[in-house]
Amino acid sequence: MTDFTMTTDADGVATITWDVSSKSMNVMSTEAFMALNGLIDQALADGSVKGVIITSGKKDFAGGMDLNVIAQMRAGGAQVIFDGVMQMHHVLRKIERAGMDPKTLKGGKPIVAALPGTALGIGLELPLSCHRIIAADNPKAKIGLPEIMVGIFPGAGGTTRLVRKLGAMAAAPFLLEGKLSDPKSAKSAGIIDEVVVPDDLLKRAKEWVLSATDADLVKAWDAKGYKMPGGAPYHPAGFMTFVGASAMVHGKTMGVYPAAKALLAAVYEGALVPFDTALKIEARHFTSVLMNPSSTAMIRSLFINKEALEKGANRPKVEEMAVRKLGVIGAGMMGAGIAYVAANAGIEVVLIDAAQDAADRGKAHAEGILDKGMKRGKVTAEKKADVLGRITATTDYAALSGVDLVVEAVFENPKIKAEVTAKVEAAVGPDCIYATNTSTLPITGLAAASGRPEQFIGIHFFSPVDKMMLVEIIRGKATGDRAVAKALDFVRQIRKTPIVVNDARFFYANRCIIPYINEGIRMVAEGVEPALVENAAKLVGMPLGPLQLVDETSIDLGVKIAKATKAAMGSDYPDEAVDKVLFWMADEGRLGKKANAGFYAYSDKGERLGLWDGLEAKYPLDKAQPSLTDVQHRLLFAQVLEAVRALEEGVLTDIREGDVGAILGWGFAPWSGGPFSWLDMIGAPRAVDICRGLTAQFGPRFQAPALLREMAEKGQTFYDRFAGEKAAA
Ligand code: NAD
């Protein structure tokens, strides 16, 4: 069956229905686009057809372009991409002109898009080329152009058409931030033309087709005297918009996202020329973005591989193990967050703490999140009552009867954790899986307190639990497949992204992020300008500089981790220089953001002001400051070498998890697609070379791991070398 089919009714209205039989959501492929082209030709040529409705056979219109196709397009090279994109423009332009006389603009056939639900990416670009967009009043539907979120931009005319329809300023949030709207908001924004009750969708579309006049078919930009809403670049108002937009985009992206720059260029340059030339400009910039390795890496990590992991790419083949009733022990910051996300996903939760008021405070935390949602109009009173109704806050372990998963989130203390394990196992059934949310204690050691170590696992959430999308699942030595499957099914239920790693100090994410923070602190101690450290990090795409990050997570936590690590590592401990700074800061009472004093200074209200000037007094600036690139290399290699070591040691077993986990877990430069994608971009030989230089200057922590050296010798990339294994994408 083809993805598009056409029927014509007795009144001469043709309906083209999009329905990809193999998928629950329509996505566009190259072949399907050509099939659509054929049907449009047919409808335009057929004298008995008065007009066309383009709609969907599914509850939604379309999710967008098949990103696998986009990822593959790059292989053909720039000319092939450009020609393919221009071909798409040609088809969409044909829909827009619909056979009208180019001079008189008369005689075209009306073509209307009728959207039953969600319409994203090409699923909105196609409607934008139609003469009218009518959407069903479906509040769950999402309308928008989210391409920028995966490192590209709308390249099938969506950029050029939306800017000409709304003006650059009004189009900016939809193009630059990928903002999505429900149909009613999309109508108020001017993206779509009409919203109707769902049952009337096709009826209203047909009515419009039969009543449309020649003038109704002429797009504003094809009519004489068109002026861009808000003004083109050389109009005084337009000038302000474009200057501001450029500054805003650079401020937000630090110039590291090629798609944001290219989008802005396509909009600016496109606004200065006629419509068809603007499409060509859009195609050129789109081609340059697709040819940039950053877009390939972002699509691969943030879309293809993220989705594969969410669908259970590494799930052991055991029966479905969805959680019906969850126990959470410890109702502090993490436990309360875990209880909330589970209850929000429809799971019944028993939330236990040592004292009733602590358990109640945990439940109140969930209430607080729901109240915020209500203020923003995202949560109804009914939903709030439902979610809270699913959380039982108690001190009574007997309430755990019937739970099939327990997540422990009590104090980070092995003795307390062991007591809790024993108490829980005495209260739950024999099949219950037991997970600990520890962030630093090895799972295998904690499992010693369990009578069922094969049912004992780590499920490591990140803070704040309701916002952070990554969950790290840790297999202890004895952990069995059922426990892994249970953890993965749970993460899927709460709609987060899992990675599965083996047990080792700090697992994966913390193992990489701690050296990043430490490298930043080390540089301060060496006399590197702290602002250089922070800005170097941000200019390479890290969301927070290392000093800001340690302020946010707190200096005393850093001290605690340093002491525990030192105790465990003994004479191998490498971070004395860092500890000197950290311990001094702690002694000074500068515990970070929560204390309103850390590496940064803060106002009484807790606003971050600037780097604390006391730092410079204690650690005078070196006269010879390093280059920006040198600082960036130190900060990036501190992280990526740890990722490579984690892979080498078998902590990571799948580079896809390494890349996705890095971006979602600690915000590793998303433009790069993750540490392994970044190393592939610069190439193993260059990476080894940089390591050699860093090692000579700063010490053995920068030595290239054997795996990387071997790859450099053999000319391999991570995604080639490990493609045959799990990282197929
Ligand atoms: P927290 O101090 O906010 O909460 C711990 C809770 O456990 C408290 O409410 C305490 O009353 C309760 N508790 C202590 N002993 C108990 C017992 N015997 N029985 C029942 N309840 C008991 O700590 P948190 O930040 O929520 O951390 C909890 C766990 O999660 C720790 O293992 C921590 O390492 C881990 N973790 C923390 C973070 C983070 O960013 N805070 C991130 C990931 C993992």
pLDDT over 50 (residue 140)? yes
Q: Is 35 helix (H, G, I), strand (E, B) or coil?
A: helix
Q: Which of 295, 344, 510, 672 is catalytic?
A: 510
Q: How would residue 726 be classed by pLDDT, with cut points 50, 70 and 90?
A: low
Judge contact between 370 and 388, C-beta under 8 A: yes
Closest CA to 552 of 598, 513, 617: 598
Cα 663 to Cα 666: distance, rounded to the nearest angstrom:
6
Give the binding-site residues of ligand 1, using a 6 Å CB cut-off.
Answer: 329-335, 352-354, 358, 409-412, 416, 419-420, 437-439, 460-461, 463
CA distance 295 to 148: 10
pLDDT tens per residue across span 223-270: 999 999 999 888 988 888 888 888 988 888 898 999 999 999 999 999
User: pLDDT tens across 455-465, in order?
Assistant: 999 999 999 99
pTM of the model: 0.91
Backbone angles phi, psi at 18, to 5 degrees: -95, 120
List, in order of start, the domains of the chain with CATH numbers.
4-291 (3.90.226.10), 325-504 (3.40.50.720), 510-722 (1.10.1040.50)
E-assigned strand segments in 485-583: 497-502
- Distance between CA atoms of 384 and 365, rounded to whole angstroms? 12
131, 285, 460, 633: the catalytic one is 460
Q: 376-386: per-residue pLDDT in tens?
A: 988 999 999 99
Ligand 1 nearest atom to the CA of residue 417, by list position: 18
596 is an active site residue: no
What ranges make up the beta strands (E) of 581-722?
Answer: 600-602, 608-611
> Is the separation of the CB atoms in 322 and 362 below 8 Å?
no
Q: Which of 334, 352, 446, 459 to mutate to test the pocket of ligand 1 (most atoms within 8 A of CB)?
A: 334
526 is a catalytic site residue: no
Instruction: Name the more confident of 248 and 85.
Output: 85
Q: pLDDT (tens digit, 9 = 90+) per residue, 409-453?
A: 999 999 999 999 999 999 999 999 999 999 999 999 999 999 999
- Ligand 1 centroid–CA 592 distance in Å is 20
For residue 333, report the distance from its CA to the centre of ligand 1, in Å: 7
647 in Cβ contact with 300 (< 8 Å):
no
| Average pLDDT over every residue of 598-604 | 97
Bridge partners (DSSP) of residue 450 are none
Q: What's the pLDDT score for residue 67?
A: 83
* Distances 365 to 2, 77, 337, 540 between C-alpha atoms, Å: 51, 52, 7, 35
- Cα–ligand 1 centroid distance for 361 (angstroms): 13
Tokens of 367: 């209430």
Query: Is the CB of residue 196 less than 8 Å from the CB of residue 159?
Result: no
pLDDT at 161 over 70: yes
Given a cut of 90, whether residue 728 has pLDDT beyond it is no
At 725, the pLDDT band (50, 70, 90 cuts) reads low
Residue 71 reports pLDDT greater than 90: no
Cα of 329 vs centre of ligand 1, distance in Å, is 9
Q: Which atom of ligand 1 is nearest to the CA of 416?
A: 18
The arithmetic mean of pLDDT across residues 587-609, rounded, is 96
Please report, rounded to a whole number, the percentage of residues in the chain having pLDDT higher than 70.
99
Tell me which of 282, 425, 472, 519 is the catalytic residue. 472
- Please give the mean pLDDT across all residues of the chain: 95
Instruction: Classify strands 433-436 and 456-461 as parallel, antiparallel or unpaired.
Output: parallel
Query: Which one-letter amino acid corresponds to residue 429?
Result: G
pLDDT tens for residues 432-442?
999 999 999 99
At 72, the pLDDT band (50, 70, 90 cuts) reads confident
DSSP tag of 702? G
- Is residue 1 pLDDT above 90, yes or no? no
460: which strand partners?
Answer: 472
pLDDT above 90: residue 129: yes
The pLDDT of 14-33, averaged and rounded, is: 96
Are 506 and 629 spatial neighbours (Cβ–Cβ below 8 Å)?
Answer: no
Q: Where are the beta strands (DSSP E) in 421-478?
A: 433-436, 456-461, 470-475
Backbone phi, psi, residue 664, to 5°: -80, -30
User: What is the structure's pLDDT at 698?
Assistant: 96
Best residue among 329, 407, 439 to mutate for probing ligand 1's pocket (most ligand atoms within 8 Å of CB) is 439
418 CA to centre of ligand 1 in angstroms: 14
For residue 471, pLDDT over 80 is answered with yes
- The rounded Å distance from CA 411 to ligand 1 centre is 4
| Mean pLDDT to the nearest integer, 37-62 | 98
pLDDT beyond 70 at 727? no
Dist. CA 702–CA 638, nearest whole Å: 7
What is the three-class DSSP state of 62?
strand
475/71: higher pLDDT: 475
Active site residue 472: yes
Q: 638-683 pLDDT, tens per residue?
A: 999 999 999 999 999 999 999 999 999 999 999 999 999 999 999 9
Residues 710, 706: Cα–Cα separation, whole Å: 6
Q: Which atom of ligand 1 is nearest to the CA of 335?
A: 26
Choice from 328, 411, 462 to test ligand 1 binding pocket (greatest atom count within 8 A of CB): 411
- Interval 109-114 mean pLDDT: 98
pLDDT of residue 391 exceeding 50, the answer is yes
Phi and psi of 561, rounded to 5°? -65, -40
Beta pairing partners, 17: 5, 55
* Catalytic status, residue 26: no
